[in-house]
Structure 1
Amino acid sequence: MHILENNNGLKMTSPQNTAPILVTGATGYIASWVIQKLLQQGHHVHATVRDLNKKSGFAHLEKIAAQSTGTLKLFKANLLEKNSFDEAMQGCEIVLHMASPFVVTNFKDAVKDIIEPAVLGTENVLNSVNQTESVERVVVTSSIASTYSDAIDILKTENNAFDESHWNTSSSETHQPYPYSKVMAERKAWDMQKAQNRWDLICINPALVLGPSLTPNTQSGSVEVLQQFSNGMTLLGVPPMWNGIVDVRDVADAHIHAAFKADAQGRYIISGGTLSLLEMGKILRQNFGHKFPFPRNHLPKAAFKIFGPLVGFSKDFVELNMGYPIYFNADKSKQEFGIEYYNIESSLVEHFQQLLDDGVVKKYL
């Protein structure tokens, strides 16, 4: 990589013009934005998808590439297949590993459906990195779920906010398996990085991601939340729970900074602020009126202790996650990456409007 200085005096890395940049999980919600930004900056992008025959899944990327100065080359790769990423990685100096399962609910086997794809997928990609001499930097999309397991963990923090020094130490295969998959995958990445000295590692830890998608086909955890707001599931009220929230464009920018900023290092929490489920409902009602069953009140924690198991909330989950506002310290990303975060209320409204325009959510009344 070559070292340059931008107008702010920040040292940035710049790959050779001929060196492609690999993005895994190219059709993903965040990855699509990253690829768009790279292509518009004139980079050569190698992007992996699970099935090259499902062209509808990546048609938006090909359209973006046709209108950009950069170039896009697609490769088939599977997280659970060894050496699956070798071909796509050839000649790359930077690898953005963004492919990961997102299954928080409706899974049959936590280990097979969530944990193994995340951990083994990371291991397979980084094994390919170890075999590809050209790679100098890897950026892994992790999650704030790697910094804590349950909302009650906020009580253990010194400044009432999770930061990059915090780790999720209490999730397991049976308790919070999705956060467990994220922290185990990130720890696997750090273990593999420390076992060699050719490539460095940056981990991006975003909060719940909202904001416009580049394709109506995108699925994410935030879509599921917004669908529940619109289909009547939350009409009687929502649990007293809070989410760190960030705009997808900020998350994409963070990946770009992590890829090219020479002195970037470690983990970066990417969060624009915190909203409760009830606050989210109120914001949506203010903007979309009464044609949707947006929640109007909190249901008491005691009610979820009684009825929660019937709707998938274990008693442990209710006890450890309801009633504890959570906050995240994103100062490192602001200071080192210069990110000025989008207004998360606007991101929420923009995201819901797009889901409405795309027919993903429908008017209830």
Structure 2
Amino acid sequence: MKNVNTKTTSILVTGATGYIASWVIKNLLEQGHTVHATVRDLNKKKSFAHLENIANQSAGTLKLFEANLLTPHAFDEAMQDCEIVLHMASPFVVTNYKDAVKDIIEPAVIGTENVLNSVNQTESVKRVVVTSSIASTYGDAIDIKQTATNQFDESHWNTTSSETHQPYPYSKVMAERKAWDMQKAQNRWELVCVNPALVLGPSLTAMTKSGSVEVLEQFANGMTLAGVPPMWNGIVDVRDVADAHLQAAFNPNAKGRYIISGGSLSLLEMGKILRQHFGPKFPFPRNQLPKAAFKLFGPLAGFSKSFVELNMGYPIYFNAAKSQAELGIQYRNIENSLVEHFQQLLDDGVVKNTSLNRS
């Protein structure tokens, strides 16, 4: 890296109240850094109270700023004097959206462009880390059949998603491509992209919203009791993702993209792991329904026929060797991460103990 003082540098983290970002900020503060953290609304103090509590017990300094992804120059002030920018703010909307372009794609792509425009105008910035996703490496599970080793790696790009088919993965790949295009158009700052799998593990606040919470809630509320589709997820512990961001920020050898994944589990395997730990009283899924059943009834459950055809029945795997070799990531056991995450949802009341009354 270009002469960054890793002991005294100021670091900007966008989307500071996010699930992963909160862990990143915790680690930075405990290492004594000054963190410039952006939130959408400084009046919503509950959303960032956990960050202030962490800062009060840490050697580092937390400075909060208000910034909106879709507002040009919104990040200029927060970025002043920072040598590293961790762009972690992005919408996570997979379902229940009205307009894919306005609700998902534009916030991701225009938000990335606005942040990097501020980087271009801030001479102190030497490295940018963008939180991308494994969704940027593939669009549908069937894409695994096009890989040489039955694994997705950093050489793969999502070329099958669009505004109308898989708009969330499309937003991730388009935002990452925008970041690389803007990086290549200049020579002052470096770019590293972190591409995590489905993130599990303990949250630093009960207010966290993430895709993994929705999956676990469906396991607990009985929606999947009749059975789950034959689908697989790459999974990674949130603390490993946070470690990867810090390595991407400070490790002078970090470069390019990094898949961050501790392994893959099917939805049925996830249900079995949870039942082994929490017992039979929760309505965890016990069966994997055949793909043919979802072809018939999938539309009633919100699965389009094309989604069923392209994503069910194809185990997917990810090669995280580059992150292990270059960033030194030693992955936690993803089964433990799953159990810890569900336990926290119980402790925080996100998943109700009344589920124990169900058979």
Give the alignment's TM-score, normalised by structure 1: 0.96
Which residue of the partner structure matches residue 25 of structure 1?
15
Within 1, Cα distance between the matches of 2:267 and 2:217? Answer: 13
The alignment status of 1:339 with 2:329, answered yes or no, reads yes
Q: After superposition, give the CA deviation of every residue in 1:341-365 in whole Å (9 maximum; x if it has no partner).
A: 0000000000000000000011322
Which residue of the partner structure matches residue 142 of structure 1?
132
Amino acid paired to 2:31? Q
Amino acid paired to 2:197? A
Which residue of the partner structure matches residue 80 of structure 1?
70
Q: Is the 8 A contact 1:2 1:15 kept in 2?
A: no
Which residue of the partner structure matches residue 35 of structure 1?
25
Matches within 5 A, 1:1-365: 13-15=4-6, 17=8, 19-363=9-353, 364=355, 365=358
Alpha carbons of structure 1 residues 16 and 280: separation in structure 2 relative to 1, 3 Å: closer
Amino acid paired to 1:14? N
Amino acid paired to 2:80? Q
Moved over 4 A (4+): none
Within 2, Cα distance between the matches of 1:15 and 1:87? Answer: 22
Q: Is the 8 A contact 1:25 1:48 kept in 2?
A: yes
Amino acid paired to 1:208? L
Shift of 1:112: 0.5
Shift of 1:14: 3.3
Amino acid paired to 2:243? D
Q: What SS is found at the alignment partner of 1:244?
A: strand
Amino acid paired to 1:247? D
Within 1, Cα distance between the matches of 2:280 and 2:251? Answer: 46
Amino acid paired to 1:213? S
Q: Is the 8 A contact 1:15 1:93 kept in 2?
A: no
Within 1, Cα distance between the matches of 2:196 and 2:180? Answer: 17
Within 1, Cα distance between the matches of 2:347 and 2:35? Answer: 30
Within 2, Cα distance between the matches of 1:261 and 1:277? Answer: 35
Q: Is the 8 A contact 1:2 1:16 kept in 2?
A: no
Amino acid paired to 2:256? G
Q: What SS is found at the alignment partner of 1:335?
A: helix
Within 2, Cα distance between the matches of 1:356 and 1:69? Answer: 32
Shift of 1:290: 1.5
Within 2, Cα distance between the matches of 1:312 and 1:137? Answer: 41
Shift of 1:217: 0.3
Q: What SS is found at the alignment partner of 1:21?
A: strand
Amino acid paired to 1:228? Q
Q: What SS is found at the alignment partner of 1:14?
A: coil
Within 2, Cα distance between the matches of 1:126 and 1:330? Answer: 27
Shift of 1:291: 1.8
RMSD across aligned positions (CA): 0.9
Q: After superposition, give the CA deviation of every residue in 1:187-226 in whole Å (9 maximum; x if it has no partner).
A: 0000000000000100000000000000000000000000
- Identity among equivalent pairs (%): 81
Shift of 1:310: 1.2
Within 2, Cα distance between the matches of 1:323 and 1:2? Answer: 46
Give the alignment's TM-score, normalised by structure 2: 0.98
Within 1, Cα distance between the matches of 2:6 and 2:247? Answer: 13
Gaps of 5+ in 1: 4-12
Within 2, Cα distance between the matches of 1:290 and 1:361? Answer: 16
Amino acid paired to 2:224? T
Question: How many matched pairs?
Answer: 355
Within 2, Cα distance between the matches of 1:181 and 1:287? Answer: 36
Q: What SS is found at the alignment partner of 2:37?
A: strand
Shift of 1:15: 3.5
